[in-house]
Amino acid sequence: MNRVRFGIVFALFLSSSPLLIGWAQSGALKLETFDGTVVPLAELLDKQGVKLDADAAPYWVALVSDSGKVHPLVKDAMGRMYFTDKKLLRRPMRIIGRLVPGSDLLQAINVHSLKDGKLHDIYYWCEVCIIKGYESGACACCGAPMEFREIPVKK
């Protein structure tokens, strides 16, 4: 039974993978690396004297790059973690992704945290199904709570 669950979840993951969707839409991805901090866009705008409507605020976060460039994040399968898990905000991050053509919108393809200058994989783990996800909450397969993991990247 677990093999069937795994197969279904794996197939769903592949079919909605941002990487595969990006390739299908653009033919090839131009990936870039962005180091910075993900913050609610309302905070950035407030510092500039702009008040974002309260009903819009939960739907906008942005990566402020180390060079000061602001890249609003696309809320999709990979970027969603920054919208649903507040502990990922206001921390050093490295996002590998692509800028949506003609904009500064950033679509995340791969994400890492930076702790003490070292890369860490960040993801959510279901101990029951033994699967990795990229969003806090319940496992899509069995409904068990997903556990946040932050593991140093091995070189």
- Tens of pLDDT, residue by residue over 108-124, are 999 999 999 899 999 99
For the chain, the average pLDDT equals: 87
- Alpha helix positions (H), the chain: 2-16, 18-26, 41-47, 81-84
Who's near 144: CB < 8 A, 6+ residues apart?
A: 126, 127, 128, 129, 138
SS3 99: strand
Name residue 95's beta-bridge partners: 34, 111
Q: 23 or 29, which is more confident?
A: 29
The pLDDT score that the predictor gives to residue 155 is 77
Q: Which of 64, 68, 78 is nearest to 112 (CA)?
A: 78
Task: Provide the pLDDT confidence category of residue 23 given band limits of 50, 70 and 90.
Answer: very low
Tell me the whole-structure pTM to 2 decimals.
0.78
